[in-house]
């Protein structure tokens, strides 16, 4: 009888072990199945979207070398993108972007200064800082000028360089058209708002440089980015040299932001190109190679009214 009872307990225990093993195996199978299902639903990494399309940029003559060079590099990296960069002056760029005939309008000045009634429609992208100064024919014989004398030169009150210690040569003024942002900056910060006398009027900075070089006694004004050789002489003002460091510290007075305006928020190719202009690749290399100053290095800032303060 005892043997029979013992046998029954052994049989029952064995049956229980089989049942537990079966349950465990089923759970294991379910877990494996669950893992497989999770793996199947793991999202895949999206491929980088290809940049393509056409973009037209117009405006500031001073900005053209930088933007054109950046556009060329951008198109090398994005062969399906086509970017056309033209000059014509800041006023032209602002008018065209406001009208919608171009996607980006480059300007040396704030839109509020040129088209105050339409400035609210535009979005300002400050992509660089430009310094500029008066430039003279190398034969003139001066390298520094007092600001008060510079104003007298451009307003026609001083007409010969010998009055300033230079050669006995008649002063020939090379001005920009009214639409020029370079003219607006120079008049505001170098001439304290004085209206220049009549002279040769030329829009393109490259042509201005050529005229100054080829004309005895000539004086005009150019962005730092055009002082790449000895064909013209940049002038210090009140003993302050026209250098990057002096602009960044606020010691040299003639500088401005370089603006790339869009009508409303930028999108598509325009947005991609503006982001490229603000990238380290451009700000720390190409921008400086072209003679422009990074916005991030400025120790002062200005508003649309020309008020300057330390950062």
User: What pLDDT shows up at residue 39?
Assistant: 46
Number of H helices, E strands in the chain: 11, 13
Smallest CA-to-CA distance from 182 within 207, 157, 155 is with 207
Q: What is the pLDDT of residues 215-269, one digit of tens each?
A: 999 999 998 888 989 999 999 999 999 999 999 999 999 999 999 999 999 999 9
d(CA 65, CA 106): 12
Q: Which range, of 10-19, 233-242, 300-309, averages the lowest pLDDT?
A: 10-19
User: What pLDDT shows up at residue 292?
Assistant: 86
The domains found in the chain, sorted by start residue, are 53-130+256-310 (3.40.190.10), 131-248 (3.40.190.10)
d(CA 123, CA 259): 10
User: Judging by DSSP bridges, how do beta strands 122-136 and 218-223 pair with one another?
Assistant: antiparallel
Q: With residue 160 as reference, give the H or E element that holds it.
A: none
Q: In residues, how long is the chain?
A: 311
User: What pLDDT shows up at residue 270?
Assistant: 97
User: What pLDDT shows up at residue 23?
Assistant: 45
Q: Which residues pair with 175 in a beta bridge?
A: 201
d(CA 145, CA 131): 17
Which tops the pLDDT comparison, 305 or 216? 216
User: What pLDDT shows up at residue 47?
Assistant: 53
Q: With residue 75 as reference, give the H or E element that holds it.
A: helix 64-77
User: What pLDDT shows up at residue 16?
Assistant: 43
User: Judging by DSSP bridges, how do beta strands 300-302 and 308-310 pair with one another?
Assistant: antiparallel
Axis-axis angle for helices 268-277, 64-77 (nearest 10): 110
The pTM score is: 0.69
Res 4 pLDDT > 90? no
Q: What is the pLDDT of residues 145-193, one digit of tens each?
A: 999 999 999 999 999 999 999 999 999 999 998 877 788 889 999 999 9
Q: What is the pLDDT of residues 64-118, one digit of tens each?
A: 888 999 999 999 999 999 999 998 888 899 999 999 999 999 998 899 988 999 9
Tokens 């046998």 belong to which residue?
7
In Å, the largest CA–CA distance within the chain is 141
């Amino acid at each position: 009888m005892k043997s029979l009872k013992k046998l029954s307990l052994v049989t029952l225990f064995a049956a229980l072990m089989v049942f537990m093993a079966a349950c465990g195996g089923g759970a294991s199978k379910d877990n494996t199945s669950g893992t497989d299902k999770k793996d199947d639903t793991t999202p895949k990494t999206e491929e980088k979207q290809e940049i393509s399309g056409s973009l037209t940029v117009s405006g500031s003559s001073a900005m053209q070398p930088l933007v054109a060079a950046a556009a060329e590099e951008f198109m090398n990296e994005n062969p399906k993108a086509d970017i056309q960069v033209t000059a014509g002056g800041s006023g032209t760029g602002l008018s065209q972007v406001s009208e919608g005939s171009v996607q980006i309008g480059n300007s040396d000045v704030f839109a509020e200064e040129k088209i105050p009634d339409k400035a609210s429609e535009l979005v300002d992208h400050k992509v660089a800082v430009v310094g500029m100064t008066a430039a003279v024919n190398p034969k003139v014989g001066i390298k520094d000028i007092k600001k008060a004398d510079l104003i007298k030169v451009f307003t026609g009150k001083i007409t010969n360089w010998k009055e300033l210690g230079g050669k006995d040569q008649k002063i020939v003024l090379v001005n920009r058209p009214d639409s020029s942002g370079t003219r607006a900056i120079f008049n505001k910060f170098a001439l304290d708002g004085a209206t220049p006398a009549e002279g040769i009027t030329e829009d393109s900075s490259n042509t201005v440089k050529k005229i100054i070089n080829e004309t005895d006694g000539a004086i005009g004004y150019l962005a730092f980015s055009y002082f790449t050789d000895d064909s013209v002489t940049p002038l210090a003002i009140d003993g302050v040299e026209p250098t990057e460091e002096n602009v960044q510290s606020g010691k040299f007075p003639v500088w401005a932001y370089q603006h790339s305006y869009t009508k409303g928020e930028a999108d598509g190719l325009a947005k991609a190109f503006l982001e490229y202009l603000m990238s380290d690749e451009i700000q720390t290399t190409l921008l400086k190679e072209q003679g422009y100053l990074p916005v991030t290095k400025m120790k002062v800032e200005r508003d649309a009214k020309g008020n300057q303060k330390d950062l």
